[in-house]
Chain A
Amino acid sequence: MAIPLSYNVRNLRLRKSLTIMTALGIALTVATAVFIMALLAGLGRAFATTGDPLNVLMLRKGSDSELAAGGVSRDAFQVLKELPGIARNSKGDPLVSGEDILVVVLPRKGGTGETNVTTRFMSPMGLEMRPQIHITQGRWFTPGQREVVVSSSINKRFEHANLGDTVHIGKGEWPIVGIFDGSGTAHDSEIWGDVNQLVTDFERTVYSSVLVRATDPASAQALKNRANDDQRLELNGLLEPDYYASQTKSGGPIKVVGWIVAFIMAVGSCFAAANTMYAAVAYRGREIATLRVIGFSRPSILTSFMLESLLLSLLGATLGIILMLPFNGMTTGTQNQVTFSEVVFSLQMTPVVVMSAVIFALIMGVVGGFAPAWHASRRDILSALRD
């Protein structure tokens, strides 16, 4: 027969301060793990939501970043426009956008240093191909003018990135005329401007990349293969979502350090939980013996103490998750390892993160609780009663 759960709940409540202190210790470990998982989830989401599966990104052959030297020649650009399977807008123009990427250095707010920011130059066609991005303040840049728009994240995170400020790019100052909402995509880390103006300023002879919209998924695949196979074009075609997904590896350093930290903290918490459970067992030596005398079996005592340990860790998990809730949605940045510029993302406490945190805590409960529970179930009844 099983010992009722209320027995464990009451025991935990009886030694309130001990329970709370142990749970808090577990909570801090869980909070750290949640923090790291939420960072990675946010980073993953920024890249996973970027790119349309119908879009094919053309890069120079052999390169896998828009920032690499060399690019797509004007000739290749003209050829791309005429390829079969390319979608057209209402005016009948092919949805093909030649784009240039630069990085500019901007100082972060709060004096935490300066960093590279990706600046994307495109034609109005580029804007048309990204309908999910919309302007929230001011207006889009005017073609043929030195004007830029910045994402709301850039606006929030950097000095001198407000409407009316200017950004120095190449030969002159480019005023910021609008702020756009990148809706959580990788474009949230970008500044956008007019490509023709940039070409004039920098005498660029190639595009960094060309974005092509296909009419349907099969055509997208065909366009990609066509670009890769055509020796004349010298292109590396990638489906846009794949290109951004490959940048998730930017979270590498966070992942490595994060898991080391979480693991060591978890080991510490396991020992602490074991300590508390050993104390719980020691205090209740006679009680356990009495339970045995009444007829509760060894396995049910083992289960009961395991449950108590699990309850304790669950309490810790709940506390830890509540502790981290205020940080949900907080934006931060790290270096994109493909473009060497800042990628802005937000902490995302997704259901997966929360569930993993709970499982993480339960594992600590099992590891920390097993030895004391085993010890409790193995004690000799007579000597325990005599204590």
Chain B
Amino acid sequence: MTLTRFVTKNAFRNKRRSVLTVLSIGGSLLLLTFLITIWRTFYDSKPSEQSAQRLIVRHKVSLVFNLPSYYKQKIQAIPGVKEVVNQQWFGGQYMDDKPEHFIAQFGTDPQELMKVYPEFKIPADQLEAWQHDRAGAIVDVGLARKFGWKVGDRLNITGKIFPLNLELTIRGIFIPPDPTQSIYFNKDYIDEGFPRLKGSEGFYAVLADSPQNVPKVAQAIDETFRNADRPTKSESEHTFQLGFIGMLGNIKAFIMSICLAVVFTILLVSANTMAMSIRERTREVAVLKTLGFTRNSILGLFVGEAVSLAVVGGLVGSLLCFFIVSAMASQGGMFTGMKVTPITILVSLLIAALVGFVSSFIPSYHAAKVNIVDGLRHIG
């Protein structure tokens, strides 16, 4: 019998306890993997190639203030700027206000949009159809699939911010590299129903000539409008998106504190199990010692047992998390675009192994130190 086999045999000797421990650790690790996934989706996601090349220009004070339409030409003239497109958040409601029916709606210029978002794939004839229909819209393929929309379908959006309702016809379905939950329509439609908006835009999306130039272009744009009536704030698309997450509150502290609680729980569970099984085996340890096993190898046996239990728990938890998150992400809503990556699973497993190691160290150390005679005399 090899040492590893001895360790695994021992780990699953008391089957019920091992299963309960694995499930308990698995539950905690499921949560930990989930939290790491949220964290990584929010803070560690690398912007795509095109996204890194884009900037968002908005009113310096707040997104709710608009920028004049003539800024477009001025921005276009700034060195390093390739393309500019205006956008207006409509903030209307599709069906009802349930979060699973959320759709981001943007009024924009159909002639320019695809120049700034070249990664959106759309058949040329659909794009052309959209450009020719003032009440037309193009929709994200994910939304189309979720709601069963087809080209030619009607789409009614109730205005919440603006006093008008949109009655759109779907003219095209675009395929973005990552889910956007967005539909785009002609901004002129809003202007007609709400003339006060004419001549102003919510924000501008700008495509720079290279990702390296983005900070320079941002600075140049803000410099141009510094003393204007409506000063601007320009930032990379990625920073802009992170700003929205920041508004939800101190998410980082929230996630960190829960992660800490979870890790500590695993530590307790694992330490508890190890303390129980080591206590039962005091006599065995004495026997092993009589057979010539050294203190260190006994220590290693127990630590190995704890680590293998924790890792099995971690595997169960992180794989379960993988399936749950995949299922939730396909449902749409706030989990769209979330993915449990192999690296996240690896990180969870490492944490599990580490916690298993730490939790078993003290009881194992004591067990290894036990005097042979005392150990043999011990009654379970």
- Is A21 an interface position by the 8 A CB rule? yes
User: Considering the complex, which residues of chain B in the window 61-87 have a beta carbon less than 8 Å from any beta carbon of chain A?
Assistant: 61-64
- Is B159 an interface position by the 8 A CB rule? yes
Residue of B nearest to A375 (CB): B16
Partner of A18, one of B62, B197, B276: B276
Measured CB to CB, the residues of B under 8 A from A are 16-17, 20-21, 23-28, 30-31, 34-35, 38, 61-64, 99, 159-163, 194, 196-197, 242-243, 246-250, 252-253, 257-258, 261-262, 264-265, 268-269, 271-273, 275-276, 334
Docked CA distance A274–B272 (Å): 12
Residue of A nearest to B22 (CB): A271
Docked CA distance A17–B161 (Å): 59
Docked CA distance A68–B93 (Å): 13
Contact A112 B27 (CB under 8 A): no
Chain A positions within 8 Å of B28 at CB level: 264-265, 268
- Is A358 an interface position by the 8 A CB rule? no
Partner of A65, one of B160, B269, B275: B160
Residue of B nearest to A268 (CB): B27
Chain A positions within 8 Å of B249 at CB level: 254, 332-335
Chain A positions within 8 Å of B31 at CB level: 261, 264-265, 268
Contact B197 A272 (CB under 8 A): no
Chain A positions within 8 Å of B252 at CB level: 112
Contact B265 A70 (CB under 8 A): no
Contact A115 B246 (CB under 8 A): yes
Top 7 A-B residue pairs of the complex, sorted by shortest distance between their CB atoms? A113-B246, A268-B27, A271-B24, A334-B249, A275-B20, A25-B268, A264-B31
Chain B positions within 8 Å of A252 at CB level: 99
The minimal Cβ–Cβ distance linking A44 to chain B, given in whole angstroms, is: 16
Q: Is the interface of B mostly helix, strand, loop or mixed?
A: helix
Q: Residues 52-75 of chain A: 1 if any B CB is under 8 Å from the residue's CB, otherwise 0?
A: 000000001111110111100000
Residue of A nearest to B163 (CB): A70
Partner of B271, one of A21, A116, A278: A21
Q: List 19 A-B contacts (CB under 8 A).
A: A24-B268, A28-B261, A28-B268, A35-B257, A65-B161, A69-B162, A69-B194, A69-B196, A112-B250, A112-B253, A114-B246, A115-B247, A168-B61, A267-B27, A269-B265, A271-B21, A271-B24, A275-B272, A275-B276
The minimal Cβ–Cβ distance linking A171 to chain B, given in whole angstroms, is: 8
- Is A381 an interface position by the 8 A CB rule? no
Contact B62 A103 (CB under 8 A): yes
Chain A positions within 8 Å of B276 at CB level: 18, 275, 279
Q: Residues 22-53 of chain A: 1 if any B CB is under 8 Å from the residue's CB, otherwise 0?
A: 10110011011001000000000000000000
Decide yes or no: A261 and B161 within 8 Å by CB, A169-B61, A253-B248, A268-B265 being known contacts.
no
The minimal Cβ–Cβ distance linking A18 to chain B, given in whole angstroms, is: 6
Chain A positions within 8 Å of B253 at CB level: 112
Chain A positions within 8 Å of B20 at CB level: 271-272, 274-275, 278
- Is A311 an interface position by the 8 A CB rule? no
Contact A264 B163 (CB under 8 A): no
Contact A264 B272 (CB under 8 A): no
- Is A127 an interface position by the 8 A CB rule? no
